Structure 1
């Protein structure tokens, strides 16, 4: 049984070697996506609003966007009120299902960019590559497959080297290269496995969820405004924040399909550090603005909170800079595991071939 598990571990690692390396490197970079965006594009991403600055009403901002870009429709809106982060506004080009993104100063009402494809900038392109390999639905399926392989490699490695902890501090680095790399492979895999398993499982879950949604759902071209643009969006936001205790709206989703509501997603105060900033929400009728529903993650039970935690767990953003540094570093460990594992596989193959040649030569001498 152990030999079979070892072979599966080895062959699956070789099969997924390059994709896992690419996912590892891209994911480790994306841990610091916000910081990189601010460094690479400060004029679009970073604001210098004063402490007393207040956001302009949402309907006023929306009207300005609609006036300046009449060939687009508002679809979604990332809301920030920290005085230094620009809003991210997502638009859909009319008579298509193509999404674009622009940056907005919500305090002065200035558009900091025009609509650009959602994968135009480096970190956005890298994010699409990390999740989809730039292959849309097919890429999501591939991402799920490689996520499942990484999950299996982590679990099988723990089973194969479960006794390694007993000699963790007696590594054979002074012997020969094979033993040194073997112990390094086991050490890195064992110590990194908790984080790698979290990354593998959350990534696998997301890809399966998104792929299932995309295969069931066909994006239809947006040819008209599907909400009443005379609604007081700012009042709806304020109403949402009153309905859910402590609620702070961070995301506005506007209808881009028939039957959709106007929905505000946001954060609520909690002792749970793994709750995301989009866990709770309130929705309103897209035409009348009448209240429809609300949800509070604090009342959704353990299952709902676990699912919501995947967002912070995948990118390690639950503990500030320290957890992000740890996640980024551990996320790169598949590079070292790939290098040491490949050498060990090559060494075993070479040794096996040499042994076969010797047996063949011995048989020929006897013949």
Structure 2
């Protein structure tokens, strides 16, 4: 294949991969802006009671007491999960009508981590999804379509990565006669936007590639967790296949303590109740994380027997779950505090300009082509009539 033919092929790949994904990526980038600051926005919009002011070093409330409160309020519901926030003094207890219920029926209770006071009785997820941040998250992740929506947005992200790679291939040959950063502002509007599109595209190249790749990985979280459960968790479950799940699980607080001892240096941040789709009928699945900058983003699952409270296994996460966990902070820029979040937001805005300018260039080219064809038809019409 000649160099000219190769460039033509890459141009075709860049054009169509960009066109197919641009509209969806624009929505993803626009909704991604508030999601970068989701912690700050959630805190600002939170209508829960304020946290109690307690002396430093005050121990956290016993989780069993919080679970008992939740069951008293909703005796017909089951406990899905418990999340013990390490950034805010709160504990979230997730509940649903049954473990087979639709996720939209789930709800959570927010407790003060120190006093055990109920701070908020959250609405069902169906209602929560219609809040501002709920809509932003749904449009960013699955367009209200569940797993099919996640996979579709993941495919759009993959096309975005293809567009980035093909754009890099084209950048050198198309811009070799111009100095880096040149924007021919005195030429036509289309040429000016072409230069700006190329400049911003190459400036945001590394960031866009990282966010695009990690976005694709994040969209695969549901099938990746399902794969882990079908393989490694299924092997751990083999000895329990002929046993009946416990009617009443043992103390959750005792299970937390056992898991913390089993993984020194780690701390349990959340756990799924036996029967939850991310657990097994016989176990609490404890999610513990480390204390170092790297391990704080890596979760180690610990399976605790719900009948005895003893640790069954420390399930070292497979490589694909490690990649998934590391991709999340990279995607949203939430591992370096506010300065990094601001940088992520600025780069996101630049990427929106790149996507929008790409659409403009395509429409402008179509319009110019149509104008040339119309002009040629007018020129040929007298000759044809004669």
TM over 0.5: yes
TM alignment of 1:296-335, pairs within 5 A: 305-335=322-352
Q: Where does 1:39-78 land on structure 2 (aligned, <5 Å)? A: 39-41=44-46, 43=48, 48-78=53-83
- Alignment of 1:183 with 2:183, yes or no, is no
Q: Is the 8 A contact 1:246 1:268 kept in 2?
A: yes
Query: What TM-score, normalized by structure 1, do the two folds share?
Result: 0.85
SS at match of 1:112: strand
Report what 1:118 is aligned to. 125
Tell me by how many angstroms 1:295 deviates.
Answer: 4.3
Cα distance in 1, alignment partners of residues 170 and 51 from structure 2: 48
Counterpart in the other structure of 1:37: 42
Do 1:266 and 1:277's aligned partners in 2 also have CA atoms closer than 8 Å?
no
The one of 303, 319, 336 aligned to 2:353:
336
Query: Aligned-pair distance for 1:336?
Result: 0.9
Question: Aligned equivalents of 1:309 and 1:92: distance in 2?
Answer: 29
* 2:107 aligned with 1:107: no
1:161 and 1:333 map into 2 onto residues whose CA distance is 18
Equivalent residue for 1:349? 366
In 1, the alpha carbon distance for the partners of 2:304 and 2:249 equals 14
Q: Which of residues 16, 19, 28 is equivalent to 1:23? A: 28
User: Structure 2 CA distance, aligned partners of 1:28 and 1:336?
Assistant: 13
Q: What secondary structure does 2:121 align onto?
A: coil
C-alpha change, 1:237 and 1:212, in structure 2 (3 Å) is closer
Tell me what 1:131 maps to.
141
Find the aligned partners of 2:266 and 2:247 in 1 and give their Cα distance.
24
Sort the Cα spacing of 1:162 and 1:93 in 2 relative to 1 into closer, same or farther, 3 A: farther
Q: Residue 231 of structure 1: SS of its match in structure 2?
A: coil
1:245-301 C-alpha deviation (Å, 9 max, x unpaired): 21111111112255352022122133xx4444451232211222221111467xx77
Change (3 A) 1:20 1:311: same
Matched residue SS, 2:78? strand
Stretch of structure 1 that moved more, 23-32 or 258-267: 258-267
* CA displacement 1:142-179 (0-9 Å, x = unmatched): 21221112111222211111465972233323433222
Deviation at 1:42, TM superposition (A): 5.2
Contact 1:266 1:279 in 2 (8 A): yes
Equivalent position SS for 1:332 = helix
CA displacement at 1:181 relative to structure 2: 1.0
SS of 1:282's equivalent? strand
Give the one of 91, 94, 97 matched to 1:90. 94
State the TM-score, normalizing by the size of structure 2. 0.81
Report deviation, 1:37.
Answer: 0.7
Q: Is the 8 A contact 2:333 2:340 kept in 1?
A: yes
1:248 aligns with 2:278: no
Answer whether contact 1:275 1:308 (CA < 8 A) is retained.
Answer: no
Alignment RMSD: 3.0
Offset at 1:366?
Answer: 4.3
- Does residue 145 of structure 1 match 2:155? yes
Residue of structure 2 in register with 1:220 after alignment: none
Helix, strand or coil at the partner of 2:270:
strand
Which secondary structure state, in structure 2, belongs to the residue aligned with residue 94 of structure 1? coil
The count of residues paired between Structure 1 and Structure 2 equals 354
The structure 1 residue matched to 2:17, chosen from 12, 16, 38, is 12
Moved more, 50-59 or 159-168: 159-168
Structure 1 counterpart SS, 2:198: helix
Aligned partner of 1:168 in structure 2 is: 180
- Shift of the 200–294 alpha-carbon distance from structure 1 to 2, 3 Å rule, reads same
Q: How does 1:272-291 map to 2 (within 5 A)?
A: 273-277=293-297, 279-291=299-311
The CA distance in 1 between the partners of 2:225 and 2:260, in whole Å, is 29
d(CA) in 1 for partners of 2:295, 2:89 = 21
8 A contact 2:157–2:216 mirrored in 1: yes
In the TM superposition, residue 41 of structure 1 has moved relative to its aligned partner by: 0.7
Alpha-carbon contact 1:240-1:247 (below 8 Å) kept: no
